[in-house]
Every structure is written in structure tokens, then in C-alpha cells.
């Protein structure tokens, strides 16, 4: 027999596909001395948020995994990139 779920029941079964292990981590101590803050305007998901005290807040859960921040921040060394579980991460190209 076909059973129609209510919206609430249906939502309670939705699993948002957010890995437990962040594929990207940001050492916000490094961000404190960053002069470019290049990640802030560059992130299409607007995940880097400057705080009033000169820090950066970062939340990986909405990340598109585009890799833009990592490319821009490479020299600063604040961002560590780990391929997501399942191996569907960004593939960086050279050149
Ligand atoms: S993530 Fe990188 S570019 Fe962004 S504020 Fe931190 S050090 Fe600077
Ligand atoms: S990988 Fe892309 S979406 Fe994710 S935090 Fe970096 S710039 Fe933003």
C-alpha cells in the first residue's frame, strides 16, 4: 500500500549530506595577521566572515568545494584542504 508521508515526516528523514570530517579547515590564528583577506570576497558561498575584532569566522558546511579560497590563500597557509570522504572533491589543475 502506498503511504504518503507528511511534509514533517519527510523532512525528519532527510539527511543533509555534510561530512562529519571537514574537508577544509582554516587556522584562524593565521587569518589574524592576513593582510589580503582574499577569501572574503572570493568565496561564492560567503563562508568567510570578518569579525569586528580582526578575526575570521569560517563555516565549512555550505562549502561548494570550489577550491577558490585554497588557491588564493596558499601562501598564507591558513587553509588545509583534505579530499572529502568518497573522493568527490575538487581536482586542482595546473596552469
Ligand atoms: S583564509 Fe587565508 S586569505 Fe582568508 S583571511 Fe585567512 S589567511 Fe587570509
Ligand atoms: S572551497 Fe569555495 S565555497 Fe568552499 S569555502 Fe572555499 S571559496 Fe568558499
Q: Where do the domains of the chain lie, and which CATH numbers do they carry?
A: 7-91 (3.30.70.20)
pTM over 0.85: no
- Binning pLDDT at 50, 70 and 90, where does residue 44 land? very high
Q: State what percent of residues in the chain have pLDDT above 70.
A: 73
Q: What span, in angstroms and rounded, lies between the C-alpha atoms of 9 and 56?
A: 37
Which among 89, 86, 83, 85 is positioned nearest to 64, based on CA atoms? 89
Q: Which of 41, 42, 69 to mutate to test the pocket of ligand 2 (most atoms within 8 A of CB)?
A: 69
* Residue located via cell numbers 561548494: 64
Distance 14 CA to ligand 2 centre (A): 24
Task: Please identify which residue in the block is written with the cell numbers 568518497.
Answer: 86
Cβ atoms of residues 83 and 24 within 8 Å: no
Question: Cβ(12)–Cβ(78) under 8 Å?
Answer: no
Amino acid at each position: 500500500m502506498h503511504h504518503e508521508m507528511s511534509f514533517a515526516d519527510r523532512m525528519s528523514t532527510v539527511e543533509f549530506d555534510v561530512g562529519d570530517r571537514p574537508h577544509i579547515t582554516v587556522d584562524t590564528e593565521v587569518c589574524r595577521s592576513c593582510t589580503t583577506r582574499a577569501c572574503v570576497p572570493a568565496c561564492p558561498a560567503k563562508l568567510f566572515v570578518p569579525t569586528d575584532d580582526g578575526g575570521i569566522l569560517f563555516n565549512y558546511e555550505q562549502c561548494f568545494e570550489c577550491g577558490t579560497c585554497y588557491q588564493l590563500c596558499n601562501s598564507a597557509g591558513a587553509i588545509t584542504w583534505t579530499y572529502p570522504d568518497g573522493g568527490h572533491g575538487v581536482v586542482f589543475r595546473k596552469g
